[in-house]
Homo-oligomer: A and B are copies of this chain.
Amino acid sequence: MDTVIEKQTDAPLSADDSAAVIEKLARKARAAQHVLAGMSDDAKADALRAAAASLRDHAAEILAANAKDIDAAKERGLSSAMIDRLKLDEDRLEGIAAAVENVADLPDPVGQVIDRSERPNGLQFARVRVPVGVIGIIYESRPNVPADAATLCVRAGNAALLRGGSEAVHSNRAINKALAEGLAKGGIPEGAVQLIPTQDRAAVGAMLKAAGLIDMIVPRGGKSLVARVQDEALVPVLAHLDGINHTYVHASADPLMAEEIALNAKLRRTGVCGAMETLLIDKAYPKAEGVVKKLLDEGCEVRGDAAVQKLDERVKPASDEDWDTEYLEAIASVAMVGGMDDALDHIAAHSSGHTDAIVAADTDAVETFLNRVDSAIVMANASSQFADGGEFGLGAEIGIATGRLHARGPVALEGLTTYKWQVRGNGQTRP
């Protein structure tokens, strides 16, 4: 197996071989992580700045590698959208390097004291943030992911094991090499950021099963990747599958605000996970026709229930399936609801737990909605397109999680830490 591990390979692997490769890489990652865990805030930040410089120094190499991927993608007839996602140029690469520096500038969460207490027997307790450990990142073709995700992991003292999509194999290897060189200059051990050296899909399966060796998996990519990861993983996963997000226009909503928020939530960028997919209009809201007309006028297809179909002849009938569909396009499902309880029931039945919003002037309605809707992000009088770590003031994000444990919503550095209990005594024994 050693030859497989020492260099990048395109050879197929058995499941057993994959497990052995992943185990060896994960143990190397764990050892590196122990060193990282002891590094100071400044040392980690400086190493990340060196990694950014190294990305710039190796720009020609990285762009040449990326050109190979683009050529291969064209040969394989990938869509122009996919090719555009894969493509790097000097500006995009500079953006990646700048993002690494941005992460270096974020405050280090490691060592922060969450809380302290003292017991009558004099024992002193403190919960202190520590790195999670070894984090597996499984991603598709965007070449910014390895740099973004790996540097967030390292900033919080974690080792990263990266598994990228085969379309970007040359870009990934070149970027990883440049990153590793920079991190090494900054004193971060080689094992801290490793690219899985095989493109065999069995390696992904081995990562998902590597409980105890890998502490957390973050999938970055389309729905089929996330679904596979969630279905197969024995390692905890931080992810969201769908963003079936609702905006509920309450009877008390200001009509201008309701229209602006509905348009922005649906149409600003239709392909992002925070985009609104379903609009719920209270039957007591007097301007239902206006908000539906605005959506239609802006080129959005509207699929409505019977009541909504009566508002505008351009409205198409919604099928049962529409209420559970993430379009990621200029299509919205729109329903009239009988009031707050009806809206809450619809959301409980159909939301993916990502981001649900209300537009209402009535503060009681706002508070009821914010308390009762059980989604990772609940919003009042704002566009669901704000669902993003940067907009939340987190400086960056490794992803948005809709699971219920550990971290929810936009996940940044704090979500890449856990805590330990430090107990200080002066000789206490338990009676």
Contacts and interface: CB of A to CB of B under 8 A. Distances in A.
Interface of A: 34, 37-38, 111, 117, 119, 123, 125, 130, 132-133, 211, 215-216, 230, 233-234, 236, 254, 257, 260-261, 263-265, 268, 348, 366, 370-372, 374-383, 385-386, 391-393, 403-406, 408-410, 418-430
Contacts of A265: 429
A34 B405 CA distance: 17
Contacts of A372: 37-38
B421 A382 contact: no
Contacts of A376: 420-421
Can you list the 3 inter-chain pairs with the closest CB atoms, starting with the nearest?
A382-B425, A264-B429, A379-B423
A362 to B, nearest CB: 14
Contact of A430 (B233, B374, B386): B386
Contacts of A378: 420-423
Given A117-B393, A376-B421, A404 B261 contact: no
A381 B380 CA distance: 50
A230 B236 CA distance: 12
A380 B37 contact: no
A168 to B, nearest CB: 29
A428 B426 CA distance: 54
29 contacts: A119-B391, A130-B374, A133-B374, A133-B404, A215-B405, A216-B405, A233-B234, A236-B403, A254-B427, A260-B427, A268-B430, A370-B422, A374-B420, A376-B420, A378-B420, A378-B422, A378-B423, A379-B423, A383-B428, A383-B429, A383-B430, A386-B425, A391-B430, A404-B418, A405-B406, A405-B418, A406-B406, A408-B421, A410-B421
A125 B254 contact: no
Given A372-B38, A393-B125, A381 B268 contact: no
B409 A420 contact: yes
A230 B255 CA distance: 52
Given A236-B405, A268-B429, A381-B428, 13 more contacts: A38-B372, A132-B404, A215-B404, A233-B234, A264-B429, A377-B421, A377-B423, A379-B424, A380-B422, A382-B423, A382-B424, A383-B430, A391-B430
Given A424-B366, A430-B268, A408 B404 contact: no
Given A374-B420, A420-B374, A422-B378, A427 B391 contact: no
Nearest to A262: B429
